[in-house]
Amino acid sequence: MKDIALMGHIVAGFPSFTQSLDSAIGIALGGAKYLEVQFPFSDPNADGIAIANACEIALKNGFNTDFGFRFITELQEKLKAHNCHTKLLIMTYGNILFCYGIREFLLKAKEVGVYGLIVPDFSLQNDENLFKYSKKLGLENIALIAPFTTPKRMRALNKASGEILYVVARNGITGDTTTINQNLLDYIALVKENCTKPIALGFGIQNKEQIQSLRGIVPIAVVGSAFVRHITELCQSTQDSKTITESLRTFTQNLLGE
């Protein structure tokens, strides 16, 4: 059976600082090779209701960008204590970087040891030098390819992106289930024809069956809303750190079929 890596997702500060930290550790220990740490924004235009609600709660709890960097610092320390090497990415929106200062944000991201960034609303032509500065600092700024992206633009995004490409499985927002059908497989094949970097396929990947069907087709599956929904339901019933971590570990292992 061909391997497939998992990219998980949490919203920093949701439902609380400690609970999001416990959840992140569980996802990492469960086998996620990558973890998106979302810095919440008031208008997350690519996100469905589960993640949008989580962002709103985190912001009401007092999330700000410095809070996010402190969160990653503590998470890195805990992962190191577990000898866990999950690669952390900051996922957020351009306004967060713009307000903080692009270079200042990237320097801080480098300082806290993140692997890279995913900023879906900064385009290749209007990225405020994000790709350039990221490359100079050794940060992987991950470009996004969507279903209506032309082959010519795919090639440009492939050249500009960090080590991997984020391929959006369908149009719309996160949260709805994506059907693994021939249209999606043809689209993935078109991306592969025009790009050389490994594909992380996201948007609507929610269960073990979908991930199993993608083995040998894409090297990385991205699961976002399913993690946030699980965290939401779990933390309504418990605040115990060990219980949260173990539940997320098991949830992650089940996604990977382990």
> Residue 62 maps to which CATH number?
3.20.20.70
Overall number of domains in the chain: 1
Q: What is the 3-state secondary structure (H, E, C) of the chain?
A: CCCCEEEEEEECCCCCHHHHHHHHHHHHHCCCCEEEEECCCCCCCCCCHHHHHHHHHHHHCCCCHHHHHHHHHHHHHHHHHCCCCCEEEEECCHHHHHHHCHHHHHHHHHHCCCCEEECCCCCCCCCCCHHHHHHHHCCEECEEECCCCCHHHHHHHHHHCCCCEEEECCCCCCCCCCCCCHHHHHHHHHHHHHCCCCEEEECCCCCHHHHHHHCCCCCEEECCHHHHHHHHHHHCCCCCHHHHHHHHHHHHHHHCCC
Say if 18 falls within a structural domain: yes
Say if 60 falls within a structural domain: yes
| Structural domain range at position 215 | 5-142+207-255
Say if 85 falls within a structural domain: yes
**What's the pLDDT at 176?**
55
Looking from the CA of 242 toward its CB, the CA atoms found within 13 Å total 0
Say if 178 falls within a structural domain: no
- Of the candidates 36, 186, 193, 209, the residue annotated as catalytic is 36
**What's the pLDDT at 180?**
83
**What's the pLDDT at 44?**
57
85 burial level (CB within 10 Å; 0-12, 13-18, 19+): exposed
Say if 128 falls within a structural domain: yes
Say if 153 falls within a structural domain: no
**What's the pLDDT at 45?**
57
Say if 71 falls within a structural domain: yes
**What's the pLDDT at 85?**
97
- Of the candidates 43, 47, 66, 163, the residue annotated as catalytic is 47
**What's the pLDDT at 48?**
66
Whether residue 37 contacts residue 258, with contact meaning beta carbons closer than 8 Å, is answered with: no
Whether 36 is a known active-site residue: answer: yes
**What's the pLDDT at 175?**
45
Whether 233 is a known active-site residue: answer: no
User: Tens place of pLDDT for every residue, the chain, 258 residues?
Assistant: 578 999 999 999 999 999 999 999 999 999 999 999 999 987 655 556 888 899 999 999 999 999 999 999 999 999 999 999 999 999 999 999 999 999 999 999 999 999 999 999 888 888 889 999 999 999 999 999 999 999 999 999 999 999 999 999 876 554 456 678 899 999 999 999 999 999 999 988 999 999 999 999 999 999 999 999 999 999 999 999 999 999 999 999 999 986
Say if 188 falls within a structural domain: no
